[in-house]
Amino acid sequence: MSESFAGVGVSAGRVIGPVRRMPDPIIAPADGAPLPAGVSIEEESARLAQATAAVAAGLKERSAAATGDAAAVLKATALMASDRTLLKSATKLVASGTNAESAIWEAAEAVAMQLTGLGGYMAERATDVLDVRSRIVAQLRGVPAPGIPDSDEPFVLCAVDLAPADTATLDPARVLALVTSDGGPQSHTAIIARSLGLPAIVAASGTTVLSDGDILFVDGIDGTVVRAPGAEEEALAQAYASRVALPEFNGSGALKDGHAVPLLANVGSGADAQTAAAAGAQGVGLLRTEFCFLGRDTEPSHEDQVSAYKAVFDAFGGSKVVVRTLDAGADKPLPFLTDDSEPNPALGVRGYRTDGSVPGVLDRQLKAIAEAADGSAADVWTMAPMISTPAEAAAFAAMCKDAGLKTPGVMVEVPSAALLARQVCAEVDFASIGTNDLTQYTMAADRQLGALAALNDPWQPAVLHLIKATCDGGAAVESGPRPVGVCGEAAADPALAVVLVGLGVATLSMNRRALPAVAAILKTVDLPGARRIAELALNAASADDARNAVRNELPELDMFGL
């Protein structure tokens, strides 16, 4: 008999396949287990250091082979594995007579509890610490680390949640879909699933009862999971498998009436940029410069930064490349820049705000961006994250001018910036909306928290009203209209892309895999139609109502299996 579970669909697709669950976690060592007989403190300390270094090196090696979000996640996890404080705490326990496995287990537990107590993003990092702990203990024991299960046939991967290092190494050739009982729409699992084009559902309550071999229907469009699917689900999966193939993106985003909507790419490295350019992206709408900083204990040199940025610029010579300055803090702590003792890091010193607490880093980054831009044919625009007031926008514009950067902008992620968009945009040349953060700050819902997944949805009408306010404010600047783009995950949703254009968004930036789908759906509507559809979403009472109202106006979504 069929059994259904409801979750949040975060990546479209309808498939049927057997379940494979994430393997059981590493068994905890005994508390305070003593050193092995005949082993000295020095030998055990060295064994611990070697295991920790091996785990960090392995994660770094995998990050070098990955791209985009996967690379950034692995770099951050590798940094955590080589955290000096964690190793120092564990080594002290070894010095007191505890063996390496118990020492790292206890030390990591203390760090995780501290992070959990901080709440917000730092609480989310506790999962990463415990994942690193398991990998180090597995290395010490000489057993396989936790990871994606092997299978001779494609499978639906089910888990409570996936650690960053797991989501970053998913193989779409083996994994049909992802289902997690925890996690939110902007969790690591969701972001990586979208970048890989895997159907995925998060926050699917009750799915912990699923077992290896269970046959599942996964509907990443409406967030439904069905165990032992029947004829109805089989028909939906077959219809999805038989969907009309999306046309290749021809490198020119536009509506049916010819209204241009440039489709740009979100990238994190030179390799990412080359792949995006090959996919037809019309430029870069978000260059995440964190890739140059993550995995380091110290600030990268001027030369390292120039080289990294220039690799991206050169991939898009003659096209626009929007650079986001360092977005450190919250879920992306850096030892030389951020304070890990903040009680609520998501509302703390992050993004542009770090220039007030650690001045100099942003100025040096801007100078590196300017030098890289001078040596490239790319049209480089530069924006700061977490701008909250017109005064901050003006100060950042002045910093860009001093560095020799001609096109300063801001990210609109904070409701205050959206509500004062005319004044904020008057200080700069453009704005770009980060829908991930704008949603969590508008709805007061941590974007990583599965329990709040329904609130943390960019289809929330309140969020759409703030997007419209931003576009209206940019258009109303007395000295001339300022273009407003979107570079958050919302831009990759083809249905929501139509709404965004109808609200006044000028450009959309997304992961390269989303380009064909977004382009195809935009070509089915003209500008008056997009505005009419956007009004339906604005007038809806809930995110589900907005989504359903818009999807009913876009039958091509079903035709393409979107």
Please count the other Cβ atoms lying within 10 Å of the Cβ belonging to residue 262.
Answer: 20
E strand or H helix that includes residue 124:
helix 120-141
Q: How far apart are CA 215 and CA 173, in angstroms?
A: 18
Q: CB-based contacts of 264: which residues, under 8 Å, 6+ apart? A: 281, 282, 283, 284, 285, 286, 320, 322, 485, 487, 507, 508, 509, 510
Q: How far apart are CA 233 and CA 432, in angstroms?
A: 40
**Are the beta carbons of 325 and 384 closer than 8 angstroms?**
yes
CA 130-179-227 angle, to 5 degrees, is 135
**Three state DSSP letters for 190-253:** HHHHHHHCCCEEECCCCHHHCCCCCEEEEECCCCEEEECCCHHHHHHHHHHHCCCCCCCCCCCC
Q: How far apart are CA 497 and CA 519, in angstroms?
A: 9
Say whether 188 is catalytic.
yes
Which strands make up the sheet holding 215-219, listed edge to edge? 3-6, 224-227, 215-219, 14-21, 155-159, 175-180, 200-202, 8-11
Residue 107 bridge partners (DSSP)? none
**Are the beta carbons of 149 and 125 closer than 8 angstroms?**
no
**Are the beta carbons of 345 and 114 closer than 8 angstroms?**
no
Which residue has tokens 């010819």?
258
Q: Which two tokens stand for residue 463?
A: 């969020």
Q: How far apart are CA 134 and CA 169, in angstroms?
A: 17
Of the candidates 292, 400, 471, 487, the residue annotated as catalytic is: 487
Q: How far apart are CA 190 and CA 186, in angstroms?
A: 6
Please count the other Cβ atoms lying within 10 Å of the Cβ belonging to residue 212.
Answer: 12
Q: What are the Cα distances from residue 532, in Å, to 17, 260, 445, 470? A: 39, 18, 29, 18
**Are the beta carbons of 340 and 301 closer than 8 angstroms?**
no
Region at 10 (left for phi over 0; alpha for psi -120 to 50; beta for the rest): alpha
Q: How far apart are CA 108 and CA 129, in angstroms?
A: 6
Q: How far is CA 55 from the centre of its chain?
A: 23
Q: How far apart are CA 180 and CA 191, in angstroms?
A: 13
Of the candidates 158, 188, 292, 471, the residue annotated as catalytic is: 188
Closest CA to 20 of 155, 154, 153: 155
Residue 432 bridge partners (DSSP)? 411, 485
Q: Give the active site residues.
A: 188, 487
